A = this chain, B = another copy of it.
């Protein structure tokens, strides 16, 4: 089941190790890369793990380089895993044609439409293959798995946690796409990966999943109010409304002046990791 892991690089960082791995993924039929931060505590015993799903155009390196998360992860004793945002080098026609579809834009679902269905299976990759690899090969505290993401990766965190109840004990998002069926980024991706029948889209739309009875652990979401994608693509009020209607626990924080980028992510990452640590290792954070 677990293909061979190839260590691409490792770097001492805040007393722990920032590593990058590659493996031949069965889910996508391609080599896949991911980053792992091992805090100093991981050398002594098992630790909780938080998966971070990145946004459009990002790679497995973006979070590790730009978010400055290792400092707080080292303090809290959290393992961080940062997958790539899609399969790469698929050779599929059109996979490099746009920045918001194809390579770098996997949308954390399993495509059902040709030719994408042959490689773009990021849901299976994240929730099964990489999950199994991480929880068997790394010193992960059994069951202590959190999931978070930014933008497209915030969509991924919400929908994967909703679609796999019980798998993630803590969930959070930064500037997530909360209702992809209703906004241009999501409509383009869903039409491409899932086909034109919108009935199939609701199963990958966080707001629709919550409206249909899906539930998450107490949810933390941060959103910058100077985010240029706020009104057209993100629309956090949709999440706020549906959570209020069904009684889903949501802490949605709006921050004036913050934009969509990693200076925003870096500013709030420590509080997100604290949120995960509280739920994954109660009494320690």
Contacts and interface: CB of A to CB of B under 8 A. Distances in A.
Contacts of A66: 65-66
A44 to B, nearest CB: 16
Interface residues of A, number: 24
Contacts of A257: 12
A264 interface: yes
B11 A264 contact: yes
User: How many copies of this kind of chain does the complex include?
Assistant: 2
A267 B74 CA distance: 10
Given A13-B267, A226-B12, A267-B13, A65 B258 contact: no
A255 B267 CA distance: 27
Contact of A266 (B13, B224, B255): B13
A99 interface: no
B224 A263 contact: no
Contacts of A124: none
A26 interface: no
Given A11-B263, A12-B224, A68-B68, 19 more contacts: A11-B261, A11-B264, A12-B226, A12-B257, A12-B263, A13-B264, A13-B267, A14-B267, A18-B263, A65-B65, A65-B262, A68-B71, A68-B266, A70-B263, A70-B266, A70-B267, A71-B71, A71-B266, A71-B267
